[in-house]
Amino acid sequence: MEGVKRFEELTIWQKSREFSKEIHSVFKHKNQLEERALSNQIIRSSGSIMDNIAEGFERGGNKEFLQYLWISKASAGESRSQLYRALDFEMIQESEFLKLKTKAELVSVGIYRLIVQIKKSEFKGQKFS
């Protein structure tokens, strides 16, 4: 972690960006009113994952970064829940659901691993260097 100078170098940010792009490509063309509302919601929650990782990192302190990582992890859970709704409403096929749900779970696990790594670290953050 100490060697990371920009949030773009964080692997978990990169994975959350890929997840957000894939969600957008799947849901951007939904036109029915109900589909459009859920599509907008899942696009926003998946984007929130990467945005909170970036914002927390840029704050420069590990305590704040951890807080934002937990928010990011919660957004991954929100995205997973919305995927279930999309499946239940027949907006996506089960194969697409399983692929996206797995990616959301991997992002969530990756965020948690980063949380554990930061908690174990003696490094307090960039602003304390």
Candidates 110, 92, 90; CA nearest to 19 is 110
Is pLDDT above 70 for 8? yes
> For residues 40 and 42, what is the distance between their CA atoms, to the nearest angstrom?
6
16-124 has CATH 1.20.1440.60 classification: yes
pLDDT of residue 55: 96
In this prediction, residue 30 has a pLDDT band, given cuts at 50, 70 and 90, of confident
What residues does each domain of the chain span? 16-124
pTM: 0.88
CB 100 within 8 A of CB 23: yes
Residues 6+ apart with CB under 8 A from 23: 42, 43, 46, 79, 100
Is pLDDT above 70 for 128? no
pLDDT tens digits for range 87-125: 999 999 999 999 999 999 999 999 999 999 999 987 776
Is pLDDT above 90 for 1? no
